[in-house]
């Protein structure tokens, strides 16, 4: 289901020209310090919310008290919380947030529309990924579209957006989504070899000419 969602997201925004207003140069203050990875935050804490540890009451209180949360969109149910997070100081850009509950605790967190976060932001926090999966498809216009996810054994999944003239994962690839404490159900994973390595990741595959970046 997640791969389908990623592909639809690419169809919606991946084929559009780069929005220069969302370039990293224009927003250098994206809040990477909102994330903490440590022995206590094994699945990556976000705004102090620790998946698998933080209670749903604590999570609600943290988000209700935060001036980085769009309180007008805050919605809580028995299953979780949906809202938006302003992730840079001007409060111009915001990511969609889905916090899921299970047995009275925060089970998982999904953050969507994180551009202009880049892959290197999370690699600097988490270290080198453990695995990668790559899908090659086509847009309705026949353009080649590539989606890829990187995986950590700590149940963290990062979903970047591919770039034009893609030569394999790049530290500057924009990130569309991140999933915290989420089980990986994708079967066609392979070991992370580092940035680039297109022929090793996709042996025999011609160089993608039209993989688009938002």
- CA pair distance 62, 42, nearest whole angstrom: 19
**CB distance 40 to 52 below 8 Å:** no
Contact by Cβ (8 Å): 84, 91: no
- Residue percentage of the chain with pLDDT more than 70: 84
Q: Is residue 6 part of a domain?
A: yes
User: Would 114 be classed as within a structural domain?
Assistant: yes
Quick one: tokens of 99? Answer: 């916090």
Q: Does the residue 118 lie in any domain? A: yes
Number of domains in the chain: 1
What residues have CB less than 8 Å from 202, skipping those under 6 apart?
134, 136
pLDDT category at 206 given cuts 50, 70, 90 is low
Give backbone dihedrals phi and psi of 187, rounded to 5 degrees, phi first: -90, -35
Give the per-residue pLDDT at 143: 73
Q: Is residue 18 part of a domain?
A: no
In a domain, 206, yes or no: no
In-domain check, residue 92: yes
Q: Is 146 in contact with 10 (CB distance < 8 Å)? A: no
Q: Residue 5 pLDDT more than 60?
A: no
The reply to whether 17 falls in a domain is no
In a domain, 21, yes or no: no
Chain segment 62-113, per-residue pLDDT in tens: 999 999 999 999 999 999 999 999 999 889 999 999 999 999 999 999 999 9
Q: pLDDT tens digits for 44-56?
A: 999 999 999 999 9
Q: Which of 1-15, 69-83, 103-117, 142-156 has the lowest mean pLDDT?
A: 1-15
When mean pLDDT is compared across 35-49, 74-88, 130-144, the lowest value belongs to: 130-144
**Full domain range(s) for residue 140:** 2-12+31-201
| pLDDT mean over 150-170 | 88
């Amino acid at each position: 289901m997640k791969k389908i969602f990623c592909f639809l997201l690419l169809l919606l925004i991946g084929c559009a020209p780069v929005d220069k207003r969302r370039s990293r140069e224009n927003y250098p203050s994206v809040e990477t310090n909102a994330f903490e990875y440590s022995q206590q935050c094994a699945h990556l804490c976000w705004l102090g919310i620790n998946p698998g540890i933080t209670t749903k009451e604590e999570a609600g209180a943290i988000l209700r008290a935060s001036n980085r949360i769009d309180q007008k969109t805050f919605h809580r149910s028995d299953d979780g919380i949906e809202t938006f997070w302003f992730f840079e100081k001007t409060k111009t850009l915001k990511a969609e947030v889905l916090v899921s509950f299970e047995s009275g605790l925060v089970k998982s967190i999904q953050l969507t529309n994180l551009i202009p976060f880049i892959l290197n932001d999370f690699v600097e926090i988490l270290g080198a990924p453990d695995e990668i999966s790559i899908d090659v498809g086509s847009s309705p216009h026949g353009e080649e579209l590539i989606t890829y996810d990187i995986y950590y054994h700590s149940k963290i999944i990062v979903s970047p957006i591919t770039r034009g003239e893609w030569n394999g994962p790049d530290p500057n690839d924009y990130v569309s989504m991140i999933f915290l404490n989420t089980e990986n159900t994708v079967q066609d994973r392979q070991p992370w070899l580092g940035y680039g390595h297109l022929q090793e990741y996709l042996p025999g595959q011609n160089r993608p000419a039209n993989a688009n970046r938002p």
